Amino acid sequence: MARRSERAALVLTDEQRCKLSELAASRTAPVREVERAGVLLKYAQGLSISEIQRQLSVSRPTIYKCIDKALAAGVQAGLKDTYHRPRPPEITEEAKAWVISIACIQPKELGLAAELWSLSALARHVSEHAESAGFPRLAKAGKSTVWRILDENELKPHKIRYYLEKRDPDFDRKMREVLIAYRDVSLCTEGTLQNEGAKPVYTVSVDEKPGVQAIGLTAPDLPPVPGKAPMLSRDYEYVRHGTVSILAGIDLHTGHVFAQVEDRHRSCEFIALLQSIDAYYPPEAVIRVVLDNHSSHISKETMAYLATRPGRFEYVHTPKHGSWLNLIECVFSKMARTFLRHIRVSSVAELKARILKGVAEMNAAPVVFRWKKFDLELA
C-alpha cells in the first residue's frame, strides 16, 4: 500500500464534487457510502491521511482502500464494495436451470393432481428427484433456496395470468369497419362530412346486459348517524327475486339511450328494441347499428323483420371477443356505477321500474361517447 506522498492527486470535476457533497450530507444513503464520499472529498482537497482520519473517525485501512480504488477505477468504484465470493457456489447454474425447467412444467404433466405449483410442492418435488437428475446438492434444498432460484429468473409458477386468443380471422377487418363508422360520426358532428342529397345516417350502438339481479333486503337499511355511524348500514343477508336483461342502444350523435328491461333477451325482445329505434328516427333516414353476433341479432325472426324494412337498418358487426369496441359498453358501465350499484328492490317489477327511471335520468342529461384514437387503429 503506497504512502500518501506516493499517491497521485485525486482530481474531481464540478459534477463529481457536487454529487459527493450531496452524498456526504445524506441521511438516507448507506453509512459506508457517506463515509467514503467524505474521504474522497477531503483527499481531493489535499488533506493528509491522518487529518482525514481525525476529522471523520474512519480507520486508516478503510481510507487507504477507498482512495486506492478511486484512483485505480474511478470515483464510483471508490464508493462501492468490491464484489467477491468466498467460495465457489454449491448449486451450479446447471442445477438452477433444472429447477427452472421443472417450474415451467405444470404439475399434472408430472403425474400430480395440482394444476399449478405451490412453493412447498415444487421444493418437495425438487428434493425427491434431485439425486436421479444428477444434482445431489438440491436434495437438501428447502423452500427458501427454491424461491431464490425462481426470483432470480422472475418466475411465479404459483400464479396464473389469463389471456384471450384471437379467434376471429376477420378481427382486423371488422374492427376497421366499426372504427370507420365511429369516425363518420365524429366528422358528421364536426360538420366536415357533407353529402348533398344523400339520406341522413344515424349510428346506434346496441347490446344486451343480461343477468341483472333483483336483490331484496331481509332487514331495513340503517341510515348514517353523525358521530356514530358514518355510512349506511345493511344486513349481510339478502333475497333473490330473479334476474332481468337490459337491451339498450345509444345514439352516438346525441347520446340518447334506448332501453328495454325484459325477463329474457330473445329475438322477439330484440326486435321490439329495433322497432323503438325505428320509430324514433325520420322514416327516410338510414339507421346504422353497431352490434355483436349474438344469436338474437342474426336469427331468422330478426332477419324477417329487417326484410320488412328494406334499406332502413345497416349492420356493422364487432369482431368476436371485441366487446370493448362497442360504445354501448360505456353506457352499461355508467349504469353499473350509478343507479345499479348496491341496488335493492322488493320485486322484479320494481327493479325494471328503477332501471327505466335511471335511463330517463341519463336521457335528461345525455352524454355523447366518442372514440378518439383513430390514427393508430386505422393505420
Q: What beta strand segments (E) does the chain contain?
A: 201-217, 238-251, 257-262, 286-291, 313-317
Task: Region of 112 please: left (phi>0), alpha (psi -120 to 50) or beta.
Answer: beta
Give tens-digit pLDDT for 266-322. 999 999 999 999 999 999 999 999 999 999 999 999 999 999 999 999 999 999 888
Judge whether residue 73 has pLDDT over 70.
yes
Q: Which SS3 state, helix, strand or coil, does residue 352 take?
A: helix
353, 354, 369, 339: which is closest to 250 by C-alpha?
A: 369
pLDDT attached to residue 78: 86
Give tens-digit pLDDT for 140-197. 889 999 999 999 999 999 999 998 777 888 888 999 999 999 998 888 876 665 565 5
Confidence of residue 126 (pLDDT cuts 50, 70, 90): very high
Contacts 24+ apart (CB under 8 A), 282-285: 282/200, 284/199, 284/200, 285/199, 285/200, 285/201, 285/202
In one-letter notation, the amino acid at residue 244 is V
Confidence of residue 82 (pLDDT cuts 50, 70, 90): confident
Confidence of residue 84 (pLDDT cuts 50, 70, 90): low
Judge whether residue 376 has pLDDT over 60.
no
Task: Record the cell numbers describing residue 79, joined without a space.
Answer: 464508493
Q: Which SS3 state, helix, strand or coil, does residue 129 take?
A: helix
pLDDT attached to residue 190: 67
Is 221 within 8 Å of 228 (Cβ atoms)? no
Q: If 0-12 CB within 10 Å is exposed, 13-18 middle and 19+ buried, where does residue 378 land?
A: exposed
Give the residue with greater pLDDT, 2 vs 112. 112
29, 30, 68: which is closest to 49 by C-alpha?
A: 68
CA distance 203 to 256: 11
pLDDT attached to residue 215: 96
Task: Region of 312 please: left (phi>0), alpha (psi -120 to 50) or beta.
Answer: alpha
Pairing of strands 257-262, 238-251: antiparallel
CA distance 370 to 351: 30
pLDDT attached to residue 196: 58
pLDDT attached to residue 85: 66
pLDDT attached to residue 80: 84
pLDDT attached to residue 160: 94
Judge whether residue 346 has pLDDT over 90.
yes
Task: Region of 192 please: left (phi>0), alpha (psi -120 to 50) or beta.
Answer: alpha
Measured in degrees and rounded to the nearest 5, phi and psi for residue 275 equal -65, -40
What's the maximum distance between 2 C-alpha atoms anywhere in the chain? 104
Residues 6+ apart with CB under 8 A from 34: 23, 24, 26
pLDDT attached to residue 143: 94
211, 175, 169, 170: which is closest to 324 by C-alpha?
A: 175
> What is the arithmetic mean of pLDDT over 324-338?
94
**Where are the chain's structural domains?**
14-79, 95-152, 171-377
Give tens-digit pLDDT for 23-68. 999 999 899 899 999 999 999 998 989 999 999 998 999 899 899 8
Give tens-digit pLDDT for 200-257. 899 999 999 999 999 999 999 999 999 999 999 999 999 999 999 999 999 999 999 9
Task: Record the cell numbers describing residue 189, joined without a space.
Answer: 358532428
Global pTM reads 0.66
Third-level CATH fold of 171-377: Nucleotidyltransferase; domain 5 (3.30.420)
Mean pLDDT of the chain: 90
3, 64, 67: which is closest to 37 by C-alpha?
A: 67
